[in-house]
Amino acid sequence: MDKSQTKITWHGTVVSVQPRSTVWRYLIDNRTHRECGFNIFLKGSIMGGENLLPEDHEGNYDFSIAISEKQEQKLEIGIGDELQGTAWTKLYSGTEFADLYRAGSLKKIKAGDNPVKPEVVLDQDHPRYDGTPIPRVFSDKYPGPAWKMLPPPLEVYAWRGARMLSRSCWKGKCFQCIWANMANVTVEYNFDTNNVKHRFETFCYGPKNCRFYKMGPARSVPYYRMSGVKDQGWLDEICLENRSRPEE
């Protein structure tokens, strides 16, 4: 085990729950999103590694923890819940956005304001290519934006797809929305030398007609000996191709 990792215990109140994802980029030919759990953002304290966390989260939260889909579904973690548990500090700070991961001994001390659990509808009218219905959540049935509900299963996110979201929206009006996302991104920089670059990017899985939405500036996608390559947003259309309607 890497000696630089530290196991800590923590306690706090949830201020946001968002999907955790990895994104692989290759020029503007490919942007593949993979949803792999949830990030919970908390106001609270940690014991055993305080000096290992960044100090400044611009007031939105004190620390964030990566949890699994199973952990999210078992405890139904939502905004306002008071939680405690253990977690580990990061092995690679440049590849993982959450401050802490490998969460354990998760316990809900006090439930929040009983956030809405959205209904997952199996859409028979717009099925997958093999005829299987697509699992959907129709955001317009619930108050928002921002949608401060319990998050649906990751499968729902995967079928919705994500589009680029401005970082200032992510930090501001969108921060508590279940459709907001800070992704761990790998940019394929040179296939021949297996050279990649890592960074974090903000995305939105929410309705296409959300009034809070702003894409932000086009994003540079660097590649060896190429310059000026930018994701201008047209990959978003491909990523959202399975949506049934803009209000979804």
Strands 7-26 and 180-190: parallel
94 vs 143, which CB is nearer to ligand SF4? 143
Which residue in 49, 179, 201, 219 binds ligand SF4 (CB under 6 A)? 179
Would you give the binding string for ligand SF4 spanning residues 208-247, x where CB under 6 A is met? Answer: --x-xx----------------------------------
Asked if 204 interacts with ligand SF4 (CB under 6 A), we say yes
The amino acid present at 237, given as its one-letter code, is E
Choices 95-103, 130-138, 154-162, 204-212; region in contact with ligand SF4 by CB under 6 A: 204-212
Asked if 174 interacts with ligand SF4 (CB under 6 A), we say yes
Binding-site size for ligand SF4 (CB under 6 A) equals 15
Nearest alpha-carbon partner for 126 in 117, 118, 116, 136? 136
195 vs 209, which CB is nearer to ligand SF4? 209
- Shortest distance, CB of residue 179 to ligand SF4, whole angstroms? 4
Query: DSSP letters along the chain, please?
Result: --TT--EEEEEEEEEEEEEEEEEEEETTTEEEEEEEEEEEEEEEEEES-GGGS-S-STTS-SEEEEE-HHHHHHHT--TT-EEEEEEEE-S-TTT--SSEEEEEEEEEEE--S----PPPEEESSS--TTSPPEEE--GGGS--SS--S----HHHHHHH--EE--HHHHHTTTTT-TTEEEEEEEEEEETTTTEEEEEEEEEE-S-TT-TT----S-EE--BTTB---EE-SHHHHHHTTT-SSTT-
Separation between Cα atoms, residue 185 and residue 183, nearest integer Å: 6
Which residue in 169, 187, 221, 235 binds ligand SF4 (CB under 6 A)? 169
111 vs 215, which CB is nearer to ligand SF4? 215
Query: Do the beta carbons of residue 161 and residue 242 sit within 8 Å?
Result: yes
Asked if 38 interacts with ligand SF4 (CB under 6 A), we say no
38 vs 179, which CB is nearer to ligand SF4? 179
- Shortest distance, CB of residue 206 to ligand SF4, whole angstroms? 2
Structure tokens at 12: 């706090």
Range 91-150, binding ligand SF4 (CB under 6 A): 145-147
- Shortest distance, CB of residue 67 to ligand SF4, whole angstroms? 20
The amino acid present at 15, given as its one-letter code, is V
Which residue in 177, 182, 185, 239 binds ligand SF4 (CB under 6 A)? 177
- Shortest distance, CB of residue 205 to ligand SF4, whole angstroms? 7
106 vs 162, which CB is nearer to ligand SF4? 162
State the residues that interact with ligand SF4 by CB under 6 A: 145-147, 165, 169, 174, 177, 179-180, 204, 206-207, 210, 212-213
